[in-house]
Amino acid sequence: MEVIREAAEMRRIVELARARGKTVGLVPTMGFFHRGHLELMRRAARECDEVVVTLFVNPTQFAPGEDLADYPRDFESDRSRAESAGVSYLFAPGPGEMYPEEFATTVEVEGLSSVMCGKERPGHFKGVATVVAKLFNIVPAQVAYFGQKDAQQLAIIRAMARDLDFGVEIRAVPTQREDDGLAMSSRNIYLEPDEREAATALFRSLAKARGLIESGERNASVIREAIGEVISAEPLVNLEYVSICGNIYLEPLSELSGEVLIALAAHVGKARLIDNMVFEMELEA
Ligand code: AMP
């Protein structure tokens, strides 16, 4: 595996690989790899000839006061884990390479960016869309892999790739979880032991929703209430939102039908955690 620091060099490598008929897979990340990241890389390695992982803690998606300075980093461990997962190139640019002083352009996916996490984090998805647009140009891969864990990000990237004709296929990878259900996240490291235990309430509340849906419940208010009950039983977990919406356009639903996303965000100690499940409703006969 080769580490690349310069955008122009990275792009040349990918263009050459494609000219040779290779399929290139892209996995954008902010590093501090856990099993979730590795699953994206392994899937890309199975499905593509060459895998490019990008590692860039993108400053423009953090608001002032968020955890940019504290965001966990461990380059040496990331390098060896990526290599073991079958990655061909690790693109790890410095901030100056991505955002030179004269940088002035942004990409914003309207509508999808202002709901759910976008309410608590205005500007966040503009930062995400802009950096991913740059990465799609620096790494002109045929396929790009994103985690289902970040469901709203996935919906936004799909919309951006479609609207701006990036010609890259977006593939979603299921959320990887700890044994007790907690979705893996680089930010779980912020949790104190009692908070770590309480944090399982996010998954438990979604599992409760799943149970209700499996037993035929289709009323969003009933499901929302059940989620709220599980979360409020944990005083260390402060619920920010629960969204029950369509999985593509994120439009709120009162009755569940079609492909439904149930997503939530909560603050637990220093960490802001998100989780979700997607349900395919069977068409009524
Ligand atoms: P991050 O480094 O947090 O920006 O994440 C990089 C990519 O890994 C994104 O596409 C995330 O959705 C994905 N990812 C993060 N955590 C998980 C997880 N627990 N399971 C699956 N994918 C994940």
Q: Whose CA is nearest to atom 17 of ligand 1?
A: 36
* Residue bearing the CA closest to ligand 1, atom 6: 29
**What is the per-residue pLDDT for 167?**
98
- Determine the atom of ligand 1 nearest the C-alpha atom of 177: 19
Q: pTM score, two decimals?
A: 0.98
Where are the domain boundaries for CATH 3.30.1300.10 in the chain? Answer: 186-276
In the predicted structure, residue 70 carries a pLDDT above the cut 80 = yes
Residue 92 to residues 18, 79, 185, 245, 260, Cα–Cα distance (Å): 21, 10, 20, 35, 36
Per-residue pLDDT tens over the stretch 245-280: 999 999 999 999 999 999 999 999 999 999 999 999
Q: State mean pLDDT over 206-219.
A: 98
CB-hemisphere CA count at 13 Å for 201? 25
- Ligand 1 pocket mutation, candidates 149, 178, 188, 275, criterion most atoms within 8 A of CB: 149
Fold of 2-173: Rossmann fold (3.40.50)
**Residue of the nearest CA to atom 13 in ligand 1?**
147
pLDDT at 34 over 70: yes
**Catalytic residue check, 124:** no
pLDDT of residue 285: 55
> From atom 12 of ligand 1, which residue's Cα is the shortest distance away?
147
Confidence of residue 282 (pLDDT cuts 50, 70, 90): confident
Topology given in CATH for the domain delimited by 186-276: Pantoate--beta-alanine Ligase; Chain: A,domain 2 (3.30.1300)
Is the Cβ–Cβ distance between 88 and 1 less than 8 Å? yes
Q: Where in the chain is the domain with CATH 3.40.50.620?
A: 2-173
Q: Supply 27's token pair.
A: 């996995």
Pocket of ligand 1 (CB under 6 A): 29-30, 36-37, 39-40, 146-147, 149-150, 173, 175-176, 183-186
By most ligand atoms within 8 Å of CB, the mutation choice from 52, 66, 81, 150 for ligand 1 is 150
User: In the predicted model, what is the mean pLDDT of residues 80-85?
Assistant: 98
